[in-house]
Chain A
Amino acid sequence: MKIQDYLNTDYAQKCREAYNKAKAIQDKTNATITFIDPQKRLNDKLEGRLKGVAIALKDNVSTRDIKTTAASRILDNYIPQYDAHIVDLLNKEGAVIIGKSNMDELAMGGTNLTSYFGLCHNPYDLSRISGGSSGGSAVLVAANVVPCAIGSDTGDSVRKPASYCGVVGVKPSYGRISRYGIIPYASSLDHVGYFTTNVKDAALMLEVLSGRDDRDMTSSYNPVENYSELLNADIQDKKILIFDNVLAAINNSEIVDLFNSLVTALTDKGAIIEHVSFNDDLLRAMLPAYYIIANAEATANHSNLDGILFGHREEGESTDDIMINTRTKGFGPWIKKRFVVGSYALFEENQERLFRKAQKIRRLIVEEVLSKLKDADILLAPAAPGAAPLIAGQTTDELSDESLIADNHMVIANFGGLPSMTVPMGYIDNLPIGVNLTANPFKEQVMFDVALAIEEYTGLGGAVKEVL
């Protein structure tokens, strides 16, 4: 499904269909936390670039008067009093929000297995995970329910599920889209992202969602370009860097073959291909550094969830007791583990050794990627070392290069605030696998252009997988 399908048609009918379909696939996918009947919105006169386009929001996007849980028990009754900045923008452009999608609890996860509302199933194989944390949004786009769904991306939470679910997933530059109203995970790494079925829609969505917002001091004043109009698949002389460390760390040769064929095709289209290699030790330090920074910020970011002012409350003898009881019962065990890690890294006696060291590693990695991209346009690598894992799980060696590097390299774009996106690369055993493109800060246009060239080669623009 494409955004174009909605424009100049009976969008009301399509929105109702989308809403009904979201409900219909719920039993199989569990992709939605809250369904929003579009009828009320459809009574409004809609205008704008997304006139009548059905859209789903990850359930960490604040929606006024509509429950917003971030898939956590501690917010299972929380109804925001305000709309996130991007909700204002979507409303202004005529979009119709039909649901709040499933996610990992507080966006802290990469599997969607940690949701308080249960895990989310992959449309291509319901016994497999959707990936996370923006799993529900990826599924709703992949299952042909909506042409676009909003997610958030702190490590690879849009781009990884996009790979697993065979859709386009975009995380633009830090500051490109306002974070105001997005329930945070880790502020310095959080980005608003989104899913579409094709690159053109992805370019259009960025036009709609981007721009300076005075309520987010980190949002950028850089002018928003007409990405979708300027979109051009001509990649003659575009310089593309092949991320060799990632390829070397992937054990699945089919993925490497798929990727190499793609690279050959890009060469044929006139792109200049160059292989780059990062310091492996630095890359091995990437995930631990990410884990420390993200969880340190998260433990502070979620200190507001204490049952005093909003959300779930467990009673107690004193306000201290209320806070302790609420937090004890409100969070899942994986969240508590992350808070412990984050707090530990911030203890005065540990800060230098853990938190500040992680910041140094982050800076070194960013310096390295920026220096490599200095004279180039795109850093290219498979988005994951494999297709979506089975829900039942499989044992992985978390300290292997495949896990540390190939499965987590997309964190680099969060470290540096670089625009990064995943587009479908092909299928292995009928399961989709994506390719990841990362560009220089605020060079989204060239990222979209190369992505379009890839899409033309794969022919996977608009690809979906019906569940019913």
Chain B
Amino acid sequence: MEYDVVVGLEIHLELKTATKMFSSSPYAFKDPANSDTGEIDLAHPGTLPCVNKEAVRKAIEACTALNLTIDPLIRFDRKNYYYSDLPKGYQITQQFHPIGRNGYIEIFVDGKYKKIRINRIHMEEDTAKQFHLFDETLIDYNRAGVPLLELVSEPDMASGEEAALYLEKLRQTLNYLEVSDVKMEEGSMRCDVNVSIKAKGSEVFGTKVEIKNLNSINNVKNAIDYEAHRQQKCLENGEAIIQETRRFDEKSQTTVSMRKKEGSVDYKYFPEPNIFPIRLSEDFIADIQKNMPELPDAKFKRYVNDFGLSDYDADLIIANKNLCAYFDEIMQEKVNAKLTANLLSSELSGILSKNNLSFADNPISAHHFAALVKMIDKGEVSSKQGKEILNEMLKGEDPESIAKEKGMKQLSDESAILAIVTSVLDDNPQSISDFKNGKDRALGYLVGQVMKRSKGQANPKLANELVTKELAKR
């Protein structure tokens, strides 16, 4: 029997804001434990929440980028439960009125685009981090109150691969927006997975299993594939699938049962009385949307349609946010895009890695790089020379002076090259007759001689043209 795999993801993103969701305490992942806390984060009696405007801004950006409809009336609710990582005994979240509803993103799978729908995005606050030792529990409250976005997808993914593509796409988009650090390994992006399988083409969904503890996109993919396989084997063995929460065991690359679901917890949600509903003006929202950075999808279209880059080159540049910003800066000088893309992908990355530099440390200014592209494009230097110049440019010098210093300026003066061509032809009558007798190779030889006599400085394109033209005259 064949099965369809049904996957939905619930993602938590830490928002990249200077302060927490409802307090003015700072937060950074690397800060010492319990240093980013104040009376509000620790839920000391009498404290009150105050909504972080920057977090609302970022939520609006995320909703816009992911095509959700924004609710301009911001409302918060309390989710009540007792746990030692939850100082207030309730979490302030948006249960009844999420800031965004009904969006989607597109992933490229099996040669075509597929829409993955996003049911909702809401704002909430993070809990503290717990460390369970043998007989003790340590709690770090730095994370308590950090702004979170929760994104709930529709069950639109049909494989681990699709889930991975969806996550990758989200990560790229939100990284470009600077909404979040989106680092799964640091927990700024967390993913819970729901997996079920059903008979191929069936309308009836199977029993859902939730998988937690996934700290990389690759693990998400592997966990889903394993779990779908496990469920299929269960069904084939005539066993029922139990609704439960499982965790991914990285070592064995399998999923392990954590707890059975026994009825859902009643969180007794009710509207947060300390925060009146906040009406966002149309201008406030429009202003945020207008000033949003260009998103990867738009960049891709622009690179391919306006600059004529290949899909591959466009993807390659967009995959690295810093590289992409650099490319955009270079293109401000209206240089040859394809040539730029080529130089960036094939030459610069090699030179940087050879010198143990990451792209962030790239010492070459966009202006100098653009100048080099122009020189190559105009034929003032050969691409081989261009590479050599690029190497030298690491020291911060501009390409013009390097070329001059090295005597690398390509000879593009037609009369000077013509003089060399004439002398080469005069000296090689045999080659001329070979050429006339149909031996095309002779042309290459003659151009080579011209290049040799010019000490490699002749513009090869021009040399080729002139040799051909002069040969015809003889």
A374 to chain B, nearest CB (A): 23
Give A296 to B84 CA distance when docked, in angstroms: 21
B275 in complex: contacting residue of A217, A300, A310, A355, CB < 8 Å: A217
Residue pair A217, B50 in contact (C-beta under 8 Å): yes
Give A180 to B266 CA distance when docked, in angstroms: 30
* B307 adjacent to chain A (CB < 8 Å): no
* A113 adjacent to chain B (CB < 8 Å): no
Residue pair A309, B42 in contact (C-beta under 8 Å): yes
Residue-wise, chain A 391-413 has the 8 Å CB interface mask toward B (1 for contact) of 00000000000000000000000
Residue pair A348, B45 in contact (C-beta under 8 Å): no
Give A304 to B46 CA distance when docked, in angstroms: 10
B276 proximity list for chain A (CB < 8 A): 217-218
Contacts from B to A (Cβ < 8 Å):
39, 42-51, 78, 80, 82-84, 87-90, 137, 139, 266, 268, 270, 273-276
Residue pair A181, B80 in contact (C-beta under 8 Å): no
A80 in complex: contacting residue of B43, B44, B80, CB < 8 Å: B44
Known contacts being A303-B89, A304-B88, is A181 close to B46, with CB within 8 Å? yes
Give A322 to B137 CA distance when docked, in angstroms: 12
A322 proximity list for chain B (CB < 8 A): 84
Residue pair A346, B46 in contact (C-beta under 8 Å): no
- Determine the main DSSP class of B at the interface with A: loop
* A245 adjacent to chain B (CB < 8 Å): no
Q: Which of A136-144, A161-169, A183-191, A381-389 contacts B (4 or more CB under 8 A)?
A: A183-191
Contacts from A to B (Cβ < 8 Å):
60-62, 68, 70, 75, 78, 80-82, 84, 179-184, 186-188, 214-218, 296-297, 299-300, 302-306, 308-310, 318-320, 322-323, 343, 346-348, 351, 355
Residue pair B274, A70 in contact (C-beta under 8 Å): no
Centre residue among A78, A318, A346 by max chain B CB count within 10 A: A346
B48 proximity list for chain A (CB < 8 A): 179-180, 215-218
A347 in complex: contacting residue of B43, B50, B88, B268, CB < 8 Å: B268
Residue pair A188, B273 in contact (C-beta under 8 Å): yes
CB within 8 Å: A-B pair count:
109
B266 proximity list for chain A (CB < 8 A): 347-348
Known contacts A216-B48, A308-B84; 13 additional CB pairs below 8 A are A78-B45, A80-B45, A84-B46, A180-B46, A184-B46, A216-B50, A300-B80, A300-B90, A303-B90, A305-B89, A310-B44, A343-B268, A351-B268
A303 in complex: contacting residue of B80, B137, B275, CB < 8 Å: B80
23 CB < 8 A contacts A-B: A68-B45, A80-B44, A80-B46, A81-B44, A82-B39, A182-B46, A188-B273, A216-B274, A217-B276, A218-B275, A297-B273, A300-B80, A304-B43, A304-B88, A306-B84, A309-B42, A309-B44, A310-B42, A346-B80, A346-B270, A348-B266, A351-B270, A355-B270
A300 proximity list for chain B (CB < 8 A): 78, 80, 89-90, 268, 270
User: Which chain A residue lies CB-closest to B272?
Assistant: A187
Give A68 to B47 CA distance when docked, in angstroms: 14
Residue pair B84, A320 in contact (C-beta under 8 Å): yes
Residue pair A183, B45 in contact (C-beta under 8 Å): yes
Residue pair A348, B44 in contact (C-beta under 8 Å): no
B78 proximity list for chain A (CB < 8 A): 300
Give A347 to B80 CA distance when docked, in angstroms: 11
User: Which chain A residue lies CB-closest to B85?
Assistant: A319
B44 proximity list for chain A (CB < 8 A): 62, 80-82, 304, 309-310
A188 proximity list for chain B (CB < 8 A): 273
A348 proximity list for chain B (CB < 8 A): 266, 268
Residue pair B87, A304 in contact (C-beta under 8 Å): yes
B145 to chain A, nearest CB (A): 13
Give A182 to B44 CA distance when docked, in angstroms: 10
B51 proximity list for chain A (CB < 8 A): 217
Give A182 to B126 CA distance when docked, in angstroms: 24
Known contacts being A217-B50, A218-B274, is A323 close to B45, with CB within 8 Å? no
Residue pair B45, A214 in contact (C-beta under 8 Å): no
Give A71 to B15 CA distance when docked, in angstroms: 39
Give A296 to B272 CA distance when docked, in angstroms: 11
Known contacts being A217-B51, A300-B89, A319-B137, is A62 close to B45, with CB within 8 Å? yes
Residue pair A306, B82 in contact (C-beta under 8 Å): yes
Give A186 to B270 CA distance when docked, in angstroms: 13
Give A186 to B39 CA distance when docked, in angstroms: 20
User: Which chain B residue lies CB-closest to A219?
Assistant: B48
Give A188 to B273 CA distance when docked, in angstroms: 5
Give A70 to B276 CA distance when docked, in angstroms: 26
A346 proximity list for chain B (CB < 8 A): 80, 268, 270
Give A346 to B78 CA distance when docked, in angstroms: 11
A179 proximity list for chain B (CB < 8 A): 46, 48
B273 proximity list for chain A (CB < 8 A): 186-188, 297
A351 to chain B, nearest CB (A): 8
B43 proximity list for chain A (CB < 8 A): 304, 309
Residue pair A296, B270 in contact (C-beta under 8 Å): yes
A183 proximity list for chain B (CB < 8 A): 45-46
Known contacts being A323-B82, A347-B266, A348-B266, is A62 close to B275, with CB within 8 Å? no
B93 to chain A, nearest CB (A): 13
B39 proximity list for chain A (CB < 8 A): 80-82
User: Which chain B residue lies CB-closest to A178?
Assistant: B48
B218 to chain A, nearest CB (A): 33
Known contacts being A187-B274, A306-B89, is A181 close to B47, with CB within 8 Å? yes
User: Which chain B residue lies CB-closest to A293?
Assistant: B273
User: Which chain B residue lies CB-closest to A180?
Assistant: B48
Give A180 to B82 CA distance when docked, in angstroms: 24
Residue pair B270, A303 in contact (C-beta under 8 Å): no
Give A354 to B431 CA distance when docked, in angstroms: 104
Give A355 to B266 CA distance when docked, in angstroms: 15
A84 proximity list for chain B (CB < 8 A): 46
Give A419 to B37 CA distance when docked, in angstroms: 36
A182 proximity list for chain B (CB < 8 A): 46
B104 to chain A, nearest CB (A): 30
Give A229 to B42 CA distance when docked, in angstroms: 42
A75 in complex: contacting residue of B45, B83, B139, CB < 8 Å: B45
A320 proximity list for chain B (CB < 8 A): 82, 84
A312 to chain B, nearest CB (A): 12
User: Which chain B residue lies CB-closest to A348?
Assistant: B266
B272 to chain A, nearest CB (A): 8
User: Which chain B residue lies CB-closest to A179?
Assistant: B48
A173 to chain B, nearest CB (A): 14
Give A182 to B45 CA distance when docked, in angstroms: 7
A305 proximity list for chain B (CB < 8 A): 45, 89
A309 proximity list for chain B (CB < 8 A): 42-44, 87
Residue pair B274, A217 in contact (C-beta under 8 Å): yes
Give A60 to B46 CA distance when docked, in angstroms: 8
Give A320 to B87 CA distance when docked, in angstroms: 13
Residue pair A180, B89 in contact (C-beta under 8 Å): no
User: Which chain B residue lies CB-closest to A324?
Assistant: B82
Closest 6 CB pairs of A and B: A303-B89, A319-B84, A346-B268, A188-B273, A187-B273, A304-B43
Give A179 to B43 CA distance when docked, in angstroms: 15
Give A214 to B48 CA distance when docked, in angstroms: 10
Give A267 to B50 CA distance when docked, in angstroms: 47
Give A81 to B84 CA distance when docked, in angstroms: 21
B90 proximity list for chain A (CB < 8 A): 300, 303
A60 proximity list for chain B (CB < 8 A): 45-46
Give A351 to B80 CA distance when docked, in angstroms: 14
